[in-house]
């Protein structure tokens, strides 16, 4: 699918590839072409002199975000949101931006929430009329804001786990923390790329005549830096919670083992006495003693009480 927005004499027109023929850069026209599909049409490559290397990067299903500067445009590859839930389950869609002085081409093989939002936005004309990079910065800002919103919501999830950790020592919590940590590791790598691309993009346009371009690009960089730092903080916090969980579970297990050990220590001598006097020998010395039963039982009770008292004194019980 290909759709076109053409800015001509401060009037914006929307249509399909037929509008491309009306684009005239010499008259100050600006054009935004959004392509959704498996490839970029060859006539766009010829019309806007798109380099083959940037086109090959755009077609790849998996490629790290990057910024490359070509003679007549800047190529930006970014990962937009396709699905990003509160539990950090996410799917991304790669978005390629070909940003020229008077044209913007966006290419993505799947649906892009951020691109679609700005395609329908009433503010598109305001930013696009100034420069394509300004509109690009707004799309990137929307993308970062969506990531940031979910990351801030996730903080309450970790806080709740931290508050209820002592009473929630079960396998489900450990499984959830392990999953969060694995997803945060992936997100940390992704946001690190986004931070670098925002910094590279700002470096490309640092000498731009339009101050708004630098300001808005700096805003994108600030958001990506914040997301990257939050991701790093949550990654470390989830690791600390896992360590705390395992330590508390180990401590609880040690308490259980201590009680079992105490019970064993009490019953081992009693079992020995019972076993000793349970042997079937006719000539056991105490066998004919009239009060032997009461003496043995009394000794066993005294031994048990003594051991229990000793363990309580040692604070093992």
Question: What are the residue ranges of CATH 1.20.58.340 in the chain?
Answer: 255-313
Tell me the two tokens of residue 194. Answer: 């986004």
| CATH level 3 topology of 255-313 | Methane Monooxygenase Hydroxylase; Chain G, domain 1 (1.20.58)
Please report which residue ranges of the chain form alpha helices under DSSP H: 42-48, 52-59, 113-120, 124-128, 132-163, 171-204, 211-277, 292-313
Homologous superfamily (CATH) of 2-249 is: CorA soluble domain-like (3.30.460.20)
Tens-place pLDDT, residues 43-82: 888 888 888 888 888 888 778 888 888 888 899 998 877 7
- Say whether pLDDT at 5 is over 80: yes
Once rounded to an integer, what is the mean pLDDT over residues 273-298? 79
Give residue 209's pLDDT. Answer: 67
If you write DSSP's letter for every residue of 60-116 in order, what string do you get?
Answer: -SS---EEEE-SSEEEEEEEEEEEE-TT--EEEEEEEEEEESSEEEEEESS--HHHH
Q: What is the predicted pLDDT for the residue at 76?
A: 92
Reply yes or no on whether the pLDDT at 98 is more than 90. Answer: yes
- State the span(s) of the chain assigned CATH 3.30.460.20: 2-249
């Amino acid at each position: 699918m290909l759709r076109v927005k053409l800015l001509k004499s401060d009037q914006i027109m929307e249509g399909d590839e037929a509008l491309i023929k009306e684009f005239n850069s010499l008259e100050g026209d600006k054009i935004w072409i959004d392509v959704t599909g498996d490839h970029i049409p060859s006539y766009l490559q010829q019309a806007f002199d798109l380099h083959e290397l940037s086109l090959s990067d755009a077609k790849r299903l998996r490629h790290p975000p990057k910024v490359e500067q070509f003679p007549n445009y800047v190529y930006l590859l970014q990962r937009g949101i396709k699905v990003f839930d509160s539990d950090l389950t996410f799917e991304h869609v790669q978005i390629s931006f070909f940003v020229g002085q008077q044209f913007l081409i966006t290419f993505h093989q799947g649906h892009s929430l951020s691109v679609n939002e700005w395609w329908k936005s009433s503010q598109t004309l305001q930013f696009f009329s100034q420069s394509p990079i300004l509109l690009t910065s707004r799309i990137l800002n929307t993308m970062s804001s969506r990531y940031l919103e979910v990351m801030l919501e996730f903080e309450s999830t970790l806080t709740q786990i931290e508050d209820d950790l002592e009473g929630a020592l079960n396998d489900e919590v450990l499984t959830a923390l392990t999953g969060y940590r694995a997803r945060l590791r992936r997100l940390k790598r992704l946001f690190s790329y986004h931070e670098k691309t925002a910094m590279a993009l700002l470096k490309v346009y640092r000498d731009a005549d339009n101050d708004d371009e630098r300001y808005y690009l700096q805003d994108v960089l600030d958001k990506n830096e914040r997301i990257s730092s939050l991701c790093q903080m949550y990654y470390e916090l989830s690791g600390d919670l896992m360590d705390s969980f395992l330590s508390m579970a180990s401590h609880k297990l040690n308490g259980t083992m201590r009680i079992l050990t105490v019970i064993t220590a009490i019953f081992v001598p009693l079992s020995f006495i019972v076993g000793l006097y349970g042997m079937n020998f006719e000539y056991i010395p105490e066998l004919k003693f009239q009060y032997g039963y009461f003496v043995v039982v009394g000794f066993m009770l005294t031994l048990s009480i003594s051991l229990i008292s000793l363990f309580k004194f040692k604070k093992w019980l």
